[in-house]
Amino acid sequence: MHMKLQILTTGNLKWRKKMHFYPLIIILILPTIPRGYEENEQFQDINHCCGDKYEVHEHIHTGDAPGSGDPIVDILAGHARGGFTQNWSFPTLPSTAKGRIMNKVKLTSGSLIEERATEFRPVELRTRMGTIIGTAEFTEQPTSPPTTGRPFYAFRGIPYAAPPVGRLRFRDPQEIEVPWPGGRLDATQFRPFCPQYDHDTNQVVGQEDCLYLNIYTPAVPDQSRARLPVLVFLHGGSYLRGTASSLGPRKLMREDIVVVTANFRLGILGFLSTRDEYLPGNYGLLDQVEALRWVQRNIAQFGGDPNRVTLGGFDSGAAAVHLHMLSPRSKGLFNGAIMMSGAGNCVWSISEEPEDAAYVVGRHLDCSTWSTWYLRECLMDKTTDELIRAQAEKHIT
């Protein structure tokens, strides 16, 4: 079975061809694609933006994102909503929000009048998983004297899969158990990002317990409020580096969308493969699938519509979006796609012989390579630092 793939590029150029892929893994460590595809009609033509490419010289970070009217923000927010609008609705703080960011607040249909406190205050939201504690924030940083800004709610560091540590290293992600321990989750701070090599400091940074996502929403739901479209954004970084915290919410939260960012395993821990049952690879892509499944199960509790999910990405994140469009495992988990400066068929995105990298790393770490089972067991005993340093020293990119 084959899927008729339509790729939209600049100028809405259309390619239709049947495509075969061998297991993939970024040059020496990247994604694996199924060999056959089913007919899939969930993606439709988009007449603008979906394949348009803009030159961007810096990432969208908290506080320094492009201003209003920037094409990147317009693409992300506009397509997630299914259209563009100049009108914002200011939500009333829900009764479930027990904390407040401001000392005094008055919300009307078209304006926000408030006197801000000097720091963000916690809010609590009751979900099927337990009570989650986030923060109430504004689309502009608190200033003195007070200025106007749109309120939104941030929930950072939510676990979406079991920690991939111990015997779960080099394994598919496991669904997280609910409810949360003690019935409460502190989601006021970012959690650790996935291990990667910092070439500036020559240090290994991050932790293997890294499968967390962040949710930013302008409206915690109540019974009278319609659900908002959702943007799930995958960071770039050549499948070797990056973090979910690199996309800040302060520009996107000016729009009526819910934004989700997620960490996923990178490099040797995310894509090492010998193309067999012992090291099948693509753990990073499967992390993304698990994050999308979590969104389907839970995003309505944060004001999002699970039937209007757009998957977007930049650089290698865009390539991952392309691969999810092809993979049957991702079918039904999102309804639209935005690929910015990357695609799954880029030469830097795939490797047809990923086992070569596995053997190089194994020999470098004095692991036997005569059996992939022995290789896996030996690599399971190595520390995070040893694995990531081996990846860097052998130039596995």
| pLDDT tens figures, 202-238 | 999 999 999 999 999 998 776 557 899 999 999 999 9
Mean pLDDT of 37-47: 36
Residue 241 pLDDT > 90: yes
Does 215 fall in a domain? yes
The partner residues of 311 in beta bridges, in order of sequence, read 232, 337
Total tally of structural domains belonging to the chain? 1
pLDDT band at 90 (very low <50, low <70, confident <90, very high): very low
Does 309 fall in a domain? yes
Model pLDDT, residue 94: 31
Residue 104 pLDDT > 50: no
What CATH number did the domain enclosing 314 receive? 3.40.50.1820
pLDDT band at 114 (very low <50, low <70, confident <90, very high): very low
Range of the domain at 314: 102-350
Which residue has better confidence, 1 or 90?
A: 1
Distance CA 248, CA 59 (A): 10
Does 95 fall in a domain? no
CB 213 within 8 A of CB 260: yes
How many other CB atoms sit within 10 Å of the CB of residue 77?
22
Distance of CA 94 to the CA centre of its chain: 27
Say if strands 130-138 and 121-127 run parallel, antiparallel, or are unpaired.
Answer: antiparallel
Amino acid in the structure at residue 175: E
| Burial class (CB within 10 angstroms; exposed 0-12, middle 13-18, buried 19+) of 59 | middle
Model pLDDT, residue 77: 63
Distance CA 260, CA 215 (A): 5
Does 154 fall in a domain? yes
Among residues 353, 371, 372, 325, which one has the least CA distance to residue 23? 353
Whether omega for the bond prior to residue 145 falls within 30 degrees of 0, making it cis, is yes
Which residue has better confidence, 187 or 21?
A: 187
Distance CA 99, CA 126 (A): 13
Residue 197 DSSP class: E
* Mean of the per-residue pLDDT values of the chain: 75
Does 76 fall in a domain? no
pLDDT in tens, 364-383: 999 999 999 999 999 999 99
Choose the weakest-confidence range: 26-35, 195-204, 314-323, 367-376.
26-35
The whole-model pTM stands at 0.74
Does 369 fall in a domain? no
Does 19 fall in a domain? no
Say if strands 184-186 and 130-138 run parallel, antiparallel, or are unpaired.
Answer: parallel
Amino acid in the structure at residue 285: L
Model pLDDT, residue 30: 54
Distance CA 55, CA 71 (A): 10
Sign of CA dihedral 239, 242, 244, 250: negative
Does 342 fall in a domain? yes
Say if strands 203-205 and 212-217 run parallel, antiparallel, or are unpaired.
Answer: unpaired
Q: CB within 8 A of 352, min separation 6: which ones?
A: 22, 23, 24
Residue whose tokens read 């005993």: 381
CA quadruple 266, 274, 293, 74: dihedral, nearest 10: 50
Convert 241-263 to b/e letters by CB count within 10 Å (16 or more is b). Answer: bbbbbbbbbbbbbbbbbbbbbbb
